[in-house]
Amino acid sequence: MASEQDVRARLQRAGQEHLLRFWAELAPEPRAALLEELALLEPEALREHCRRAAEACARPHGPPPDLAVRLRPLPPQRVGRASRSDPETRRRWEEEGFRQISLNKVAVLLLAGGQGTRLGVTYPKGMYRVGLPSRKTLYQLQAERIRRVEQLASERHGTRCTVPWYVMTSEFTLGPTAEFFREHNFFHLDPANVVMFEQRLLPAVTFDGKVILERKDKVAMAPDGNGGLYCALEDHKILEDMERRGVEFVHVYCVDNILVRLADPVFIGFCVLQGADCGAKVVEKAYPEEPVGVVCQVDGVPQVVEYSEISPETAQLRASDGSLLYNAGNICNHFFTRGFLKAVTREFEPLLKPHVAVKKVPYVDEEGNLVKPLKPNGIKMEKFVFDVFRFANLPPNGDPPAICEISPLVSYSGEGLEVYLQGREFQSPLILDEDQARELQPQES
């Protein structure tokens, strides 16, 4: 373990020496705990984190002045309407989704790092009983939906299949969640298919860039937002685990969605048939001022724009059919390919910009008294899971069409092509002319 001297030197480099101001008052055990926590904070990264938090807080908030002219709704061909599509189209999406599930290519990933503070409880949200006669919790409802979708896919395709359940927790929720699952026998799921892992924590910071002490011996830490998923996937080798299991498609959702259809075959099938890197299931906004982010395009790039960033005038705009122009309400319900998640963790995650969340953060004052502030006093920096949309391939009409040009000198109307093409794989674009045909002609033995 790092020594007091080492930690003091690291804090001095980060400009956060005040975190040891109660050192002399601490007993040996709290001292050791505090040193262990502080030793995990890399000085340069901590300095940068505090600087960015203070700068972000100082910037003016509200809609960017030019956002309205940069904003566009998603093109219709990128949107599938489950409730309004013709039955055959919906059946095709659903069948493709069930097919992928039956092949063990689909997993679900739960974002469960938050505590149930706003629900008025001190335990993880997933343990909350939602008022049903059965007294089932959110975790139980979700586990049972996984079991049922596995059964449905197995019945359709005559095979046994598994939908692995990845559960991203935080330091605050991992222990209680793991214990809760054990107490309930994993809700009759195979424990080997329930994988729990932690997201990172970041220090809460004052408006002038100082890390907040929650107690004399503890820094105020908070999960790094649901966008912390991407670092957590890398930290815990989750994508490698998915690859071993053969998982290609991942349904990501938030724990407090009581209606969520885990591994929804219609949603999965639509995204797979579109050939999309990622997708978002949305609900239509009920009214212009509804406080929900909107999936749309900014400068031609798909992303989620927070409701606070959209002017009232823009929110009121209507399409020709009378519906809201910007009506795709984001509910943190997403599809990703494993390949895209791998690209995000390796290439794009450092490009994600943290968002400022101004919060009421309990702290100790200069005299060591615990203070529970009545108004926001600190900054928690968070990344959002949907911030990666701008890096994704969302082809407008499914996979780009394969290009294959066959010379009339090779085939008049398709005859004889099996001689050249049978049993071979080709990359698009393919030009099959006389020279290429001669090279592909089987050699006589």
Q: Domain boundaries in the chain?
A: 4-41, 54-391, 404-440
Band of pLDDT at residue 292, cut at 50, 70 and 90: very high
Q: What does the pLDDT read at residue 63?
A: 64
User: What is the rounded average pLDDT of the residues 308-312?
Assistant: 87
Q: What does the pLDDT read at residue 445?
A: 46
CATH 3.90.550.10 fits 54-391, yes or no: yes
Cα separation, 369 vs 363, whole angstroms: 8
Structural fold of domain 404-440: Seminal Fluid Protein  PDC-109 (Domain B) (2.10.10)
Q: What does the pLDDT read at residue 240?
A: 98
Residue 331 pLDDT exceeds 90: yes
> How many distinct helices (H) and strands (E) make up the chain?
14, 20
C-alpha closest to that of 274 among 335, 330, 325: 335
pTM: 0.83
Residue 400 pLDDT exceeds 60: no
Q: What does the pLDDT read at residue 117?
A: 66
Phi, psi of 124 (to 5 degrees): -60, 145
Percentage of the chain lying above the pLDDT 90 cut: 66
DSSP string, 229-259: HHHHHHHTTHHHHHHHHT--EEEEEETT-TT
Residue 396 pLDDT exceeds 70: no
